[in-house]
Amino acid sequence: MLNPSPICRGLATLLALVGTFLAKDALLVASVYCAVLVPLLVSLRLLRTHAKFVLAGVLPLAIGLLILWGVVIGAAPGLPHGSAPIEGVKHAILMSLRLAMIAGLFQLCLLSLPFGELMSVLANWGIRGDGQILVAGSLTVWPELQLRAGQIVTARYARGLVKNRSLLTTIRQLPFLLRPLLTWVLHTGILRAELWHQQNLIERAREATPPKNGTIFGNAFFLGIAASWMTVNVIRFLR
């Protein structure tokens, strides 16, 4: 089974992130994303989660980047404004692909672990105490945020503040969601941190699920792919 040790998991993720940040070829990034990262996400049953994040987070940013670099600036970084709109579009596509790749790498590294094992892995990386709470809290906020947003929109429907339930009307409710959602996230975040500290949940979860040592094949597989990806992009970056 492809199960790397905590150290190899962190090192492979770091190498892959460095390679992604140095990548300058959008076609190469897209090829590795489709041929390597997506199949790994499928094998770990994380593709649906990743697709939701890409559609909700990366796609809107990609549209904004295309407008910014392709229309407003009309050039890639380092070129005069308006001199090369096509290069600006290529730069926006590259940045969008990098964002999708980075999101997939973090999901592959963190979301593929049970909560208790994740806490043990973080401890192996030297992340303890408040750092563990921050990471664990960030993984639990998004589902709760979706639930709370749905409750707010439903309440506005019930009070007759929204005329219909079309997609466009739902999108227009975003300004009314920001304040209550921000307040709720801060409030629940503080309560969650205090509760976890009082009940020592992080330590109990880490002790209940010790990290797996991983297999030799899993370690070699992930480190090999990550190191190859970084090496290729370092060589292309230095040319």
Name the residue ranges covered by the structural domains of the chain: 1-113+213-234, 115-208
Interhelix angle 201-208/130-158, rounded to 10 degrees, is: 110
- Token pair in block for residue 230: 């970084």
**What end-to-end distance do the CA atoms of the chain give, in Å?**
38
In this prediction, residue 33 carries a pLDDT of 94
Residues in the chain: 239
Instruction: Please give the Cα distance from 40 to 96 (Å, whole number).
Output: 20
Q: Note down pLDDT in tens along the chain; length 239 residues.
A: 567 777 788 888 889 999 999 999 999 999 999 999 999 899 888 888 899 888 878 888 899 889 988 888 888 888 888 888 899 999 999 999 999 999 999 888 877 776 666 666 777 677 666 666 666 666 666 667 777 777 877 887 787 777 776 766 666 767 777 777 778 777 776 777 677 666 666 566 555 455 566 677 878 888 899 999 999 999 998 88
Residue 176, token pair as written in the block: 């009314």
- pLDDT reported for residue 29: 93
pTM of full prediction above 0.75: no
